[in-house]
Amino acid sequence: MDQTPLKAFLLDTLKRSGPVTFERYMALCLYHPEYGYYTQGQDRSGVAGDYFTSPDLHPIFARLLARQAAEMWDMLGRPSRFSWVEMGPGRGLFAQDFLSWVKSALPGFASALDYVAIEPGPTQGARLREGLAEKGLEGEVRLPENLQHLQPVTGCFFSNELVDSFPVAVVTRASGHLSEVYVAAQGDELCEKLGRISNPAIAAAVARYANQLQEGCRVEVNLTATQWMRAVAKKLIRGFVITVDYGDLAKYLYIEDRRQGTLLTYHRHWPSEDVFTAPGQADLTAHVNFSALIDAGKEAGLHFTGFTSQQKFLLALGEANQFADLYEPGASEIENLKARLKLKRLIHPEGMGNIFKVLIQHRGIAAPSLTGLKHGSIGL
């Protein structure tokens, strides 16, 4: 196992204090103030990072979302202030593409747009401000410290590949009983150890979404995700919540083909199932249980709008003008070809197009019919 500063910290802590839940281990790997994967101020996505996100590929992703946002604004009666709240914006690439395009293509919507970006943590916030300043956009984005500091809004909450980065508990069935995975120190290495369920809510989630869990199989439980959804709902007066991430509904997620769950690490664009590889230097992620997000939203007063694949969502938004938003003014045919190839990566059914799902919820508007959902919901 790679030696990292976080590994040394973990070994010292575990030897003194005993095992911690996997959820706590994952939280430290990703968010330790000094050694965490997301808190060290490095670029994590793109060519130089460990994975690609949709905004890394082409501005068309943000442009099509902007078209959907403008339609939402229209459905809400064109309020004088429409807040687009992006959660987990990273270095601000999506925000840059969204704002730049809206100003030129949708001036009416731009006049009402209140762009809010929430990136908790001083290091992440500084990187976001730096990225926006480079494009001359910092003054056009509100940057509250966290969701709690945001006053309730009318508009839309948006996240892309945020929920999969929340720490998860790992549960297995051993000797006929549910057990939780803990992380312990064994000499100079980290290892797993099974123990009792640390929180009754974890067992309740398994009973609700994975009650057919077989002996030796594993599932992840993301309690932070449902808490986050409830917190978002409290901040929405009228409007929508768009959650884009990889995962599925529980009935397709917790299946026999995934006996060991969905946990993966990503380092230099290589996936691995070894969750102890380079702690603090590799991304650690699990598929999102969208059924839990739908249910948490309903319990907090959000209505289900639709659930679809990224492929169907982007195709629906781009079909009206035959993806004219894909091309830059004055671009050569070679440049246009490269753009089409990038769009293909975003929508290909064997890649990002089907792996990534789009969940939309709403409040304060009766049965909205969104263009992005015109091909219908999937898997319900």
pLDDT tens across 306-324, in order? Answer: 999 999 999 999 998 988 8
State CA 254 to chain mean position distance. Answer: 19
As to burial, measured by CB atoms within 10 angstroms (0-12 exposed, 13-18 middle, 19+ buried), residue 196 is exposed
How far apart (Å, rounded) are the C-alpha atoms in residues 90 and 37? 13
Q: Is residue 113 helix, strand or coil?
A: strand
**What pLDDT score was predicted for residue 14?**
97
- For 330, the token pair is 């004055």
CA distance 276 to 192: 10
Q: What is the pLDDT of residue 51?
A: 61
What is the pTM (predicted TM-score) of this model? Answer: 0.95
pLDDT of residue 255: 86
Beta bridge partners of residue 192, listed in sequence order: 183
Distance CA(1)–CA(4), nearest Å, equals 9
Give the separation between CA 170 and CA 165, rounded to whole angstroms: 14
Residues of the chain with pLDDT under 50: none
Asked if residues 56 and 45 have their Cβ atoms less than 8 Å apart, the reply is yes
- pLDDT attached to residue 45: 61
What DSSP character marks residue 45?
B
Contacts 24+ apart (CB under 8 A), 42-47: 43/91, 44/90, 44/283, 45/90
| Cα–Cα nearest to 58, from 98, 107, 115 | 98
pLDDT of residue 269: 61
Domains for the chain: give ranges and CATH numbers. Answer: 1-380 (3.40.50.12710)
Residues 10 and 34: their CA atoms lie apart, in Å, by 13
In three-state secondary structure terms, 255 is: coil
User: Quick one: residue 136, left, alpha or beta (phi over 0 = left, psi -120 to 50 = alpha)?
Assistant: left
CA distance 229 to 236: 11
- The pLDDT score that the predictor gives to residue 44 is 62
R_g over Cα of the chain: 21
